[in-house]
Structure 1
Amino acid sequence: MLDRLKQLFADASPSGGVAEQAIKSGMWVMSMNVSDRLLQLLLTVILASLLTPADFGLMGIALLGLSSLRRVSKLGLDESLIHQHEENVDRYLDTALTLKTIRGLLIVVFLYVAAPFIAGFLNEPRATDVVRVVGVSPLLISLHNPAVVYFKKNLDFNFQFLYNVSGSLARFAVGLGWALVFQNVWALVFGFLAADVARLIVSYAAHDYRPWPRFNRGRAKEMIGYGKWITGSSLVYFLYSEGDDIIVAVLLSSTALGFYRLAYQLSNAPGTEVSEVIRDVTFPAFSQVQDDIEALRRGFFQSLRLTTLVSFPMAFGIAAVTPVFVRAFLGTKWVPMITTMQILAGYGLLLSVTSSYGSVFRAVGRPDYGTKLGATRVVLMAILIVPVTMRFGIEGTAALVVGLFAFPMFQLDTYLLLKCLDTTWTRVLRELIYPFVAAAIMAGAVVYTDRMLTLDPLALEFGVLILVGVVVYTVVVSALEFQFDWGIERQLRTMVDTVLN
C-alpha cells in the first residue's frame, strides 16, 4: 500500500524545464498551503470559540521562547543544500542530521531550564509548563529524514504536499479533540506537537534514504559557511517579527498578546500563504538559473505579477470584512482585536510583495542582504516600539510594524533588488499599480455593501460580502487587462497550458 502511494506521488512529479517545473510545483505548493491554511483557519475559529484570549496568549508566550532559540541557532543547512549546483547531496545528509539533532537537544534542555524565567519575565507563571512541553518540538523536527530537502531542491512539491498536509491533519484532529473534551490551552500545545510527530513518520515513508548520525567536519563547515548569513537573517527576522509580541506581553498582558497574535495570524494568513508559496518555489528555481540574469529577472517579474494578483485583494478584503468576520465567527470576546487585525492586513500585503526578494538575494549569492535589511528594521523598531505601545496599545504596535515596513524598509529592500536584477523602479511599480487599483476599488465596493446590508445571521452577510468582492475584483482586473495590456491573461494562459500538458 505504501509503495503504491509513493508511486502515485512520484508519477505526479513536475517535469520539463525550470520554468515548467516552477509552474507545476507552484500548483502543488498552492494546493498544499491552501489545504494547510484552511485547516488552520477552521481550527483557529473553532478553538477561539472554545478557549479564551488568555489561552492563546499562553501559547503565544511558549512560541516566543521556542522561536527565539530556533532563530538564534538556525544553521541554514537546508538552504545550503538547495543552493548546491550538484543534484545529489546525499553525502551531506548524515552530517546535516547530526547537526540538527545536537541543535534540537540543546534547545529542549535550555527551554526546560529557562521556562520559569521566561514565564516570570513575561509576567505569566502559568506559562512555565507550556513552554517546557512546546520545547520538545525542535527535537522532533531534528529527527525528520534530512532527505526531505530533495522535495524542494528538485521541485518535487508533490511529496512536500504529502509531508506538510499530514502534519496539518494531525494538528487539526488532536487540537480539536482535546478542546472539545477539556477546553484549555493544551489543545493548542498537543495539536502543535502532533503535527511534528506526523511529519516525522511521513518523512521516512516518503523517501527511501535512511540517514545515520555521522559527522564530517569539512562538509559541516561548507554548509555552515553558506548558512551563516541565513543564521544572521533568521535572528534579525525573529527580532522584528516577534519583538512586537514580546513588547506586548511585557508591557500589556497575556490577554493582549492573545488578541495581537490571533489578529496577526488571521490577517496575515493569505499574505503568509502567498509568500510561502513564492519562497518555496522561487528559491530553488532561481538557484538553477543564478548565472543567467535575464532568466532570473524574467522569473522574478512573473512571480511578482502572479503574487500581487492574488495577495492584494486578500489584504484589502480582510481589512474590509474583519468587523463582520470577527462578530460572526469568533464572538464578541474577540471584538477588541478588530482594528489591530485591519491594520495588520497591510503587513500581509507588503510581505507578499517582497516574498521573492529573499529568493533573489540568496540565488545570486547575497544572503547577507536579508540580514542587513532585517538589522536595520530591528534598530528602528527598538527605538519606537516601547513608547508607541505604551501610548496606543496593540493598535499602535500594529501601526508601527506596518508603517516601518512601508517606509523606509520597502524602499531599501527594493533598491537592493534592483541592484541584483539590473532593473528599474518603473518596472517594479508597473507590476504593483494594476492589482493595487483593482483591490482598492473592490474594497470600496465591499465596505459600501456592508453599510447597506443588515443580514441575520452575520455569517450570511459575510458570504455576500465575499461574493461582492470576488465579482468586483474580477471585473476590474478584466477591464485593466483589456485597456492597458497588463499581461496577466497571457501568463495565466501559459500556466494553464503548462499544467494541462
Structure 2
Amino acid sequence: MTDLKSKAKNGLKWSAIERIATQFIQLAVMLLLGRILGPESFGLIGMLSIFIAISQTFVDSGFGNALIRKIDRNEVDYSTTFYFSIAVSLVCYIALYLSAPYIADFYGQQELIQILRVLSLTIIINSVSIVHRTRFTIDMNFKLQAKISLLSVLFSSIVALLLGYFNYSVWALVGQSLTFSLLSTILIYYFSGWRPKEKFCKHSFYELFNFGSKLLVSSLIDTIYNNLYQIIIGKLFSPAQLGIFSQAKNLSNMPAMTLTSIIQRVTYPMLSQIQDDTKKLDDVYLLTLRLSALVIFPIMVGIAIVAKPLVQLSLGDNWADSAHLMSILCFGYMLYPIHAINLNLLKVKGRSDLFLKIEILKKIMITLILFITVPLGIKAICIGMLIQSYIGLVINTYYSGKMSKLNIVYQLKAIFPIWVSCIFIGSFGYYIFSYINNDVIKLIGTLLFSMSLYFLYVFKYEKDLFGYIKETIIK
C-alpha cells in the first residue's frame, strides 16, 4: 500500500504539472490566436469538432479503461488493442474523407471539405499511441508523459502562431492540432519501448470489449451531446457566432477539464487496485471529492465574476459577447470534476451497465432542455447547460451512492459549504469592485480580494483539507 500511495502522490504531481502547464500554454496561444484570427476561424473548427470527437471515441472503444481495470492483463491484450485501434482509425478516416462534401453542404461552408480531410489525419496518428499511453497510466508514469506533452504543446503552439501571423487563418488551428498529435505520438512511441509482440486475439478482444463496449456507448452518447451544441449553433447561426460560443465554452471549461483529467488519470488506476477494500475506497473517494471542490469551485466562480474585463483585455471587442456566456457556463462546469469522480467509482466497481444507464437518462434530460432553449437563442442554450449540470449531479450521486456509503446526502454535506462560500465570497468581491471603470484594476482587485477571503475561510473552516494540502500535496 505504501508503494501505491507513493506512486499516487508522484503521479498526481506530474499529472498536475503536465495538465496545468499545457493548458496554460494552450490558453495563452488560444487568446493570441483569438485576436489574430477572429471568431469565424474558431467557428469553422467548432463545426467539425463533433466528427473528430466521435471518431476518437470509436478508436478507443473503452479498451483503455478495460486494460487499466483488468488485473491480469497480458501482452496479447495489449497487441489486440493496438491492432484494433489502428484498424478503427483507418475506417473512421475513410468515412470522414468521403462524407466531407456532405458535411460542408450541411453547414453551407465549402471550405470545410479540405479542412476536415486534413484535420482527420489526427485520428490515425493518435491511434498509434493509445496502448503506449495506457501502459504509462497503468504504471502511473506521468513524469515522462508530462515532458512529452509540454514539448509537443510548445512546438505546436509555435507552429500555430507562425501560421496565424502569416495569415493562414483557420489553417493555423489545423496545423496546431496536427503538429501536437504527430510529435506527441512519435515521442510516446519511441520512449515507451513497447512494440506489439502477439497477433490479434479474438478471445482477448471479446473479453475487453465486454467491459469496454458499455463505456463506448456511454462515451459515444456523451461525446455527441457535448458537441451537439456546435452542430445546432453552426447550422442555425453564423460561423462567427459559433466561434464566440466555442471560445466561451473552451475558456470556461478548461480549468474544470484540466483538474478532472488530473484526477481521473491518477485515481482510476489507483482505485482499481483497492477496489475490493470498501472502506479504504470510500475514504479515498470522499477525500478526492472534497479536495476537488476546494480547488475547482473558487477558480470557476472567479472566472465567472471577472469574465467581462478578462475577455475585454485578452481578446478585444470582437469577442465581447462571449463574456456573458462564460459567466453562465462557469457555474455549470464547476461541478464537472464532481460528476467525473462519481462516474469513476462506477467504472472501478465494474458497473459499466449503470454508467450507460446514467448517460441515457442524462441525455434524455438534455434533449428536453435543448428543445426548450434552442428557439430562445445562444444565451438560453447556455442557461440550459447550467441547469442540466445540477440535475445531472443528482442523477450521478444517486447511482454512485448504491456502490458505497457516499449517497447524495453524504456528498452534498461534504461539498455544499464550499460551494456556498465560493458563491458568497465571489459575489461580495464583485460588488466591492463593480464601481471601478478601469478593467485592469477591477480584474486584479476582485481576484485578490476574493482569494484572500477564501483563504481565510479554508484556514478557519476546512482545517483538515488545509492540513492535508500543506503536509501532503505541497510538501
TM-score, normalisation: structure 1 = 0.90
Question: Residue 62 of structure 1 contacts residue 134 of structure 1 at CA under 8 Å; is this kept in 2?
Answer: no
1:406 counterpart = 2:359: no
Question: Residue 31 of structure 2 contacts residue 314 of structure 2 at CA under 8 Å; is this kept in 1?
Answer: yes
- Quote how far apart the aligned CAs of 1:213 are: 7.9
1:469 counterpart = 2:450: yes
Partner of 2:106: 121
State the distance in 1 between where 2:102 and 2:161 align: 30
Question: Residue 20 of structure 2 contacts residue 258 of structure 2 at CA under 8 Å; is this kept in 1?
Answer: yes
Partner of 2:355: 370
Partner of 1:29: 15
State the distance in 1 between where 2:107 and 2:335 align: 30
**Among 394, 397, 402, the residue aligned to 2:378:** 394
**Among 191, 203, 213, the residue aligned to 1:206:** 191
Counterpart residue identity of residue 405, structure 1: S
| Deviation larger for 177-186 or 464-473 | 464-473
Q: Secondary structure of 2:9's partner?
A: helix
1:179 counterpart = 2:164: yes
1:357 counterpart = 2:342: yes
State the distance in 2 between where 1:388 and 1:145 align: 38
State the distance in 2 between where 1:441 and 1:349 align: 15
State the distance in 1 between where 2:353 and 2:145 align: 27
State the distance in 2 between where 1:111 and 1:465 align: 47
1:212-269 Cα distance to aligned partner (Å, 9 max, x none):
6831111122211211111111111112211122111122222221111110100111
State the distance in 1 between where 2:173 and 2:126 align: 18
Counterpart residue identity of residue 445, structure 2: V
**Among 327, 331, 344, the residue aligned to 2:329:** 344
State the distance in 1 between where 2:219 and 2:254 align: 20
State the distance in 1 between where 2:198 and 2:236 align: 44
1:50 counterpart = 2:36: yes
Question: Residue 69 of structure 2 contacts residue 269 of structure 2 at CA under 8 Å; is this kept in 1?
Answer: yes
Moved >6 Å (runs of 4+): none
Q: 1:379 to 1:272 in 2, by over 3 A?
A: same
Question: Residue 61 of structure 1 contacts residue 131 of structure 1 at CA under 8 Å; is this kept in 2?
Answer: no
Question: Residue 73 of structure 1 contacts residue 231 of structure 1 at CA under 8 Å; is this kept in 2?
Answer: no
- Quote how far apart the aligned CAs of 1:342 are: 0.8
1:323-346 Cα distance to aligned partner (Å, 9 max, x none):
000111100110112211111102
State the distance in 2 between where 1:424 and 1:218 align: 37
Question: Residue 178 of structure 1 contacts residue 187 of structure 1 at CA under 8 Å; is this kept in 2?
Answer: yes
> Where do residues 92-131 of structure 1 align in structure 2 (5 Å cutoff)?
92-131=77-116
| Deviation larger for 182-191 or 434-443 | 434-443
Counterpart residue identity of residue 50, structure 1: I
Partner of 2:135: 150
> Where do residues 459-498 of structure 1 align in structure 2 (5 Å cutoff)?
459-481=440-462, 487-496=464-473
1:20-74 Cα distance to aligned partner (Å, 9 max, x none):
3223211111111101110110011000000121110111112222113333554
State the distance in 2 between where 1:282 and 1:84 align: 15
State the identity %: 22
Unpaired runs of 5+ residues, structure 2, are: none
Question: Residue 94 of structure 1 contacts residue 215 of structure 1 at CA under 8 Å; is this kept in 2?
Answer: yes
| Deviation larger for 113-122 or 433-442 | 433-442
State the distance in 2 between where 1:252 and 1:261 align: 13
State the distance in 1 between where 2:130 and 2:309 align: 44
1:60 counterpart = 2:43: no
State the distance in 2 between where 1:72 and 1:403 align: 29
Q: Secondary structure of 1:421's partner?
A: coil
Q: 1:335 to 1:478 in 2, by over 3 A?
A: same
State the distance in 2 between where 1:165 and 1:469 align: 31
- Quote how far apart the aligned CAs of 1:472 are: 1.9
Counterpart residue identity of residue 41, structure 2: D
- Quote how far apart the aligned CAs of 1:169 are: 1.8
Partner of 1:333: 318
State the distance in 2 between where 1:97 and 1:170 align: 27
Partner of 1:381: 366
Question: Residue 350 of structure 1 contacts residue 406 of structure 1 at CA under 8 Å; is this kept in 2?
Answer: yes
Counterpart residue identity of residue 247, structure 2: L
The alignment of Structure 1 onto Structure 2 pairs a total of residues equal to 475
Counterpart residue identity of residue 68, structure 2: I
Counterpart residue identity of residue 47, structure 2: I
**Among 80, 83, 91, the residue aligned to 2:66:** 80
State the distance in 1 between where 2:436 and 2:111 align: 44
State the distance in 2 between where 1:48 and 1:309 align: 31
Q: Secondary structure of 1:211's partner?
A: coil
Q: Secondary structure of 2:437's partner?
A: coil
TM-score, normalisation: structure 2 = 0.95
1:361-380 Cα distance to aligned partner (Å, 9 max, x none):
11101122222211122222
- Quote how far apart the aligned CAs of 1:148 are: 2.5
Question: Residue 75 of structure 2 contacts residue 198 of structure 2 at CA under 8 Å; is this kept in 1?
Answer: no
- Quote how far apart the aligned CAs of 1:75 are: 1.4
Partner of 1:9: none
> Where do residues 318-329 of structure 1 align in structure 2 (5 Å cutoff)?
318-329=303-314
Partner of 1:276: 261
State the distance in 1 between where 2:3 and 2:405 align: 24
Question: Residue 445 of structure 1 contacts residue 468 of structure 1 at CA under 8 Å; is this kept in 2?
Answer: no
Counterpart residue identity of residue 56, structure 1: F
State the distance in 2 between where 1:423 and 1:145 align: 33
State the distance in 2 between where 1:165 and 1:369 align: 36
> Where do residues 239-254 of structure 1 align in structure 2 (5 Å cutoff)?
239-254=224-239
State the distance in 2 between where 1:232 and 1:163 align: 30
State the distance in 2 between where 1:425 and 1:210 align: 45
